[in-house]
Amino acid sequence: MPGYLEEEGANKSSNTETFVAIRVDIDNWRWAGVPFYLRTGKRLPTKCSEVVVYFKTPELNLFKESWQDLPQNKLTIRLHLMKAWISRY
Tens of pLDDT, residue by residue over 49-83, are 778 888 877 777 777 676 667 777 888 887 766 56
Residue 87 or residue 16, greater confidence: 16
Q: Is residue 89 part of a domain?
A: no
What's the residue count for the chain? 89
* DSSP code per residue over 3-43: -GGGSTT--TT----SEEEEEEE--SSTTTT-EEEEEEESS
C-alpha 5/C-alpha 2 separation (Å) is: 8
87 belongs to a structural domain: no
User: Helix (H, G, I), strand (E, B), or coil: what is residue 78?
Assistant: strand
22-33 confidence digits (pLDDT tens):
999 999 998 888
3-state secondary structure of 64: helix
Residue 86 maps to a domain: no
Q: How many domains is the chain built from? A: 1
Tell me if 84 is assigned to some domain: no
Which residue range forms the structural domain that includes residue 34? 4-78
